[in-house]
Amino acid sequence: MTGNGPVLVINSGSSSVKYQLVETDSGTALAAGAVERIGEAASPVGDHEAALRLAFGEISAAGIDLSRCGLAAVGHRVVHGGGQFYRPTLLDDERIAALEKLSELAPLHNPPALTGIEVARRLLPGVPHIAVFDTAFFHDLPPEAATYAIDREVASRWQIRRYGFHGTSHRYVSERAADFLGRPSPEVNQIVLHLGNGCSASAIAGGRPVETSMGMTPLEGLVMGSRSGDIDPGIVGYLCHRASMSVDEVEGMLNKQSGVQGLAGERDFRRLRAMIDAGDDGARLAYGVFIHRLRKYVGAYLAVLGHVDAISFTAGIGENDAAVRRDALAGLEGFGIVVDEGRNVDLDRGARLISGDDSRTAVLVVPTNEELAIARDCVSALAGL
C-alpha cells in the first residue's frame, strides 16, 4: 500500500534531529518537533539513536502509534546527492554504501544524515526509507552556471562543480509562487530568496533553475548566519601560510564564525535588529554587508533572466523580517520592482503579495515547507516503484 498513509520526515543534522509526521494529501503536520544539542556535554541526548528514540517517544505521547498509523514511508533529507543522486531514492544497503562514499564530497554535511538513516532503518524496519536531496532541483543547471573556471581535469577528477542547495525549498516556493500568480510554472521567470540560518538565491526560468548562489558546498554565495558566503579563495591560502591556521581551522571559521555572527557576534536577526537600534556599529555593518550582497545577487539574477515576473522571499528571515525585504529591493523602481510599505509590514502568515500595484515584478512572501515537499516526493517515488 502506498501513498495514503502519513510520511515521517527526518532532517538529521550534526547536533539536531528535526522531525515531522506529514499527512500528504492535506499537507497537515500530525506531529512535529526537534531534538537539539545531541552529544553536547550537558545534554541528556547522547547520540542520534537517543535523539530518534526521544522523537518517536514524543510522537507516541501525541497519541500516534508509528507502527499502526499506516506509515507510508520515512523521508530523509540528505544535503548532498553529488552527481549521482538527484531523484528521491529508495534506500537499500547498496545505495546507502554509495551514499557513504559520497560523504567524501560533503564531509561536513552528509554523515549526520547517514547516521539518522541507519538508526531510523533499525527502529522502523518495515517501512520504505527514501532519501530526498537538497541538490536535486539544481542537478540540471546549465553548464555555464554549474562550471567553475578551474583546471578541467582537476574538476572532473574530484567532482568539483556547482551543485546548489536548499533545492527542495526553491522548488516548493517557486511552484507556490506560480500558483499564487495563477500562472503555469513554465511561463514564469522568478527569483527565490531563501533567507534562514543558511541563505541562498536562485534564478528560475520557466520552472527550470538557471542559477543559484550556493556551489560545491553550501558555503558559497550570500552572507549567512555564520557562513561567509563568497570570499576571495586566495584568503584560504593566505591564512594557512601567513597566520599558520590549519585548513580545518580556516574551514571552521568560514562556516561557523563568519557571516553576520562573525561581524556582529550575533546571528539571530531579531537580536541583530535590537543591537542596531541600540547603536551597535558591528551589528550595523553586518546588516549592511548582508543586504549589499543580497542586492548584488538580485541584480545579477535580473541580468541572467532578462525579465522577472516574481521575486519571492522565504525562510525565517525572508518570511518575517520586513526591513530586510524593504532594504533588499529599495531603489529598484527603474527595474520595475516596487515594494509596497503597507503590504510589506502586514503580518499575514500565508503566501502574500507585497509589491505595489505599479510594480511590473510581483514581490511575494511565500512560507516554505520543505517537510511537505519531501513527504510528497516520497509519495511520488513510491507511486513510481
Catalytic positions, written as ranges: 134
Query: Closest distance between ligand ADP and the C-beta of residue 122, in Å?
Result: 27
Query: Closest distance between ligand ADP and the C-beta of residue 166, in Å?
Result: 8
Query: Closest distance between ligand ADP and the C-beta of residue 196, in Å?
Result: 2
Residues with Cβ within 8 Å of residue 18, at least 6 apart in sequence? 10, 11, 32, 33, 34
Closest to ligand ADP by CB, 128 vs 221, is 221
What does each C-alpha distance from 111 to 13, 254, 320 come to in angstroms? Answer: 9, 20, 31
Closest to ligand ADP by CB, 245 vs 351, is 351
Q: Which helix (H) or strand (E) holds 17?
A: strand 17-23
Closest to ligand ADP by CB, 201 vs 317, is 317
Closest to ligand ADP by CB, 72 vs 222, is 222
| Residue 315 near ligand ADP by CB under 6 A | yes
| Residue 321 near ligand ADP by CB under 6 A | yes
Query: Closest distance between ligand ADP and the C-beta of residue 267, in Å?
Result: 6
Closest to ligand ADP by CB, 113 vs 308, is 113
Task: Specify the 3-state DSSP secondary structure of 101.
Answer: helix
Which amino acid appears at position 168 of this protein? Answer: T
| Residue 270 near ligand ADP by CB under 6 A | yes
Buried b (16+ CB within 10 A) or exposed e, 81-96: bbeebbbbbbbeeebb
x-marked contacts with ligand ADP along 179-208 as a string, rule CB under 6 A: -----------------xxx----------
Report the alpha-carbon distance of residue 8 to residue 120 in Å, rounded: 10
Buried b (16+ CB within 10 A) or exposed e, 243-266: eebeeeebbebbbeebbbbbbbeb
Residue 358: CB atoms within 10 A of its CB come to: 9
Given 103, 147, 226, 320, the residue binding ligand ADP (CB under 6 A): 320
Residue nearest ligand ADP, Cβ-based: 316
Count of residues engaged in binding ligand ADP, rule: CB under 6 A:
13
What residue ranges bind ligand ADP (CB under 6 A)? Answer: 196-198, 225, 267-270, 315-317, 320-321
